[in-house]
Structure 1
Amino acid sequence: VDIAESFLGSVVNLKKPLQIENVQTSNAYQQQDIAREEGLVAMLSIPLEFGGNAIGTLNVYKEETYVFSNDEIHIATALAELSALAIEKARLLERIVESEELLRQNEKLSALGLLAGEVAHEIRNPLTVLKMLYHSLGLEFPEDDPRAEDVRIMGEKMDHLNTIVEQILTFARNAEPSLKPTDINKLIDDLRILVRRKMAQQNVELEIQLEDNLPTVKADGPQLSQVFLNLTLNALEAMPNGGSLTIESRTIQLSKGVAAPTHVRIEFRDTGCGMDMESRERAFTSLLNTSKPDGAGLGLAIVGRIVESHGGRIKIKPSDSGTTFSILLPLTDR
């Protein structure tokens, strides 16, 4: 049976909850043999929606003929919404891990390395909301009620997801940059999308100043994306009470006697607590340098090495208020 023509396909297409009192006798349910073998009778199916798209269904079964109440449907719908969010964040984590595999250069990072802070927030936030809602619903049933076991398993699985986040371990990869013509402005636009929620949570205003028609540079796009994200997260760490972050791209000319631009400059300017001279001098010297007390580093040393592997330079400019990281990438082949 085509999924679009099935009962679950109808739930996905209609994007609304549907239920069947008895799946063993209903013609709308195509897997009646399996339902009889498993003792499944009543069924409630809720669409898993994210970003206006249905990505699956959350199905609740009972072992007897039953009509689910509006309250039960509302509870299941709330859990389905949070489940869809958690699934999408898990997919984001998978994409991030794939990107990180290109980023390692025979270095061992304690904790999570690049993106650890963002992954933790992106995964933990929906999990925290899910657990809070789960506990606030007061889902307590008699021991002989099959729902009691379901509730216990739900709680264990949420704890399991949280443990997985905690157990993302050290990565060690060999990955030379794969240099291709790369649109720096597009990488910055993609970064804006990735961090917009965290920016709003910390009351940090993001200002993007991109030079029109910026020339492409030969670079490894995923690696530069990690550099930009690391610098953004580092800026957010310095602004726990809010502030502003400006990201600027522009061409500059550094060679005498050459009229055309020779480099692209990308700057990250924050209004945070700033860095003293000693911190600026050792920022790119240790793999374990971090602004986090628990060592889950943002890896400025990795940032420096990636920029150097692209034939570029990075420096920290002193400022009366905040910190400015300035990256120079050559427009010509190395």
Structure 2
Amino acid sequence: MHLNQLMEFIGHFMGAVLQLILIMMMARRKDKRHSEKVFFTLVVAIFIWHAGSFVSTFSELLTGERIIVVGLIWDTASALSMGFVPPLLIHTLLTFLEELPENFFSRWRRTVLFVAYAPLPFFWRAPLRLIQHPELPRAENIMLVTQMFEYWTIVALAIASYMCYKLSTLSRDDVQRRFYISLVRMFVIIFGLMVLTHVLYAKFIPGLGTYFLVACALAPMFPTIIFSYFILRYNYMEYVLKRSIFYSLLAIFVLAVYILGIRQVGDFLERALDIDFRIIEAILVIGLILLIDPVRERLQAAFNALFFREQSYYQRVFAELSHRLGSLQGIEVGRLLRYVANSVQTAMRLSNCKIILLHEENGRLVVEESSSPVQTEEVENIVRHFQKIHAHSISLWQVTDQAVVKEMKNIDATLILPIYRDGRLAGVMSLGPSLQYRELYEGEIEILSILLNHLVTAIDNTRLMQDKLEMERRMLANEKWMSLGRLSGQIAHEVKNPLSSIKAITHVMREELPPDDRFYKDLAMVEGEIDKLTTVVNQLLRGAHPTTQTEKVADLRDIIENVSSVLRPEASHADIRIICQYDNGIPAIKADPVALREIIFNVMNNGIQSMASGGTLTVSVSCLQPDPTTHRRSVLVSIHDTGPGIPEEDMSKIFEPFYTTKEGGTGLGLWIVREKLTDLGGSISVESNGGTTITITIPVEAKTAVGPPATAPNPEQEKPDA
């Protein structure tokens, strides 16, 4: 057996296996486009060529001579199919070009197809000659000595190279562009091989000519290898080759080692040393069998590194991300969504990625949380589409609903994946265009779907943990209020009751004395100090009894105007102006008006008391933009005085209970303000720079929480302060 025969045998076998795998894969695909049907025909023609040549070569190697019946059937089929390969190649590339928006070949479609298929009748004389003379040599010899076929194949390769070049320049997908550039290079190499072999007559070079002919006969296999590589590497054209092709290649490797290695060495030793090589051959075959497993592992690793790098990378990244989701449970849901969205966007090199959670409200699904700002109206039709058909994904290039297309374009999405919880739509993931200018593969979409299932579990666990923490917080708050209640009871018993007795006795003693008595003023001062102590005890008692707030609606403007009217007499007496400023459209606040009144009263009163030499107290009310994560609205109240400000060393202590810098102050005012704002879900901050500015943020829908009772301050009593 000559080396060129072995090359031809193995080459045609590999070519037939590759084409057969592609045929089975393409046959399973439904709803084929016209270009796919033409391409399928081309693959079938190349398969018949390789299969026929393989059977003929195998029969000759098996029997040592040409079998007439085999040659008549398979060589005829090979010759017929090879005649169709050049025109089908041009036809396939033409249909690919027709699918692109910029295609100048479409106007010349009929002319190109006529030129492609016109030479076919002239090639049919080769298979007819085989039928008439079955003893002639094999099909490739008949086809390749047909001078017109040689030249036509060269012309077809030149046209195919140019068409692939045009496809590479018109394709916006980076993978497609690389695929067509690879085909251009391969067609140019085959073109050069054909010219060298048949135009420059390299086929007549002694010793090398037969190898040039074998290379030309195997040439149709090499573009198929490129196509198979792109399918395995990138799932090109959404085809999926199973890893079973790896085992086919492994079988070819083992067969090649046996035929080219063991058998050749055996034949050489039998001729040179005149020995029986069968025993040594059996030992070598056993050794080859033992080597199969380690060789398989090494080839499998190389196979994965060559073809499945992206899939392995995504699986590793998303497995790590899924693992981290377990450790991130308990953080805010919005932060969790942003973390996952940013991770997916970075890993898959997307222009953007959004995760949107939905919940039912008044019979419709609305946006609850999202990784970036999205309104319900922006995804309304997308949500309705998933509810209607329960699709696994929505592609911008395949969906026919124009309302859905419009919404996807508005949020810059090319693919939408649903998030299901217990069979119901719980959210969507929006994926923007790929920075690699390609569509996501089916395997990548499956990995993302698995990740979304882990995300749903993590969100559920996060919410359970938050509910548990909230319950524990309430229990701790109740324990705190119970402790304060017990303490306040003891204070009432041990302090307030004796104070009442002392005040009553002092009052009686003072009334029995004439006003000009020197003890009359002393007893009046004692009564005043007792009143101050009683005020401190009353404020402590108000902060010691929790109540559950009921949902009420408060008009913040009315509350501020009411408090201002109460404080204006005192302010005017101290030469202080009170200025109130309001934005338009200040919404009503769902909170206890009495609690809000006490908050505003305490802060405004502190500002007035800080301006001993007169000044201006400015109250500004404005609306804040909705929170991008929770979509909740808030109102901002800014109270600024022109007093001396708060010393820097005191800034960290102003919210501590019983801390005050004023003579006669209780130190409970700002502490009560902060506690009440916390219960409402609001916040307070203080700045001191050329006066003091206290900024209060109050949510429009204040949360219902356990907190101290909202008791209106009595203007006649001493006003609380910091």
The structure with the larger Rg is 2
Greater helix content: 2
TM-score for the superposition, normalised by structure 2: 0.24
Q: Between Structure 1 and Structure 2, which shows a larger proportion of strand residues?
A: 1
Q: With the length of structure 1 as denominator, give the TM-score of the two structures.
A: 0.49
Structure with the larger RCO, 1 or 2 (CA within 8 Å, 6+ apart): 1
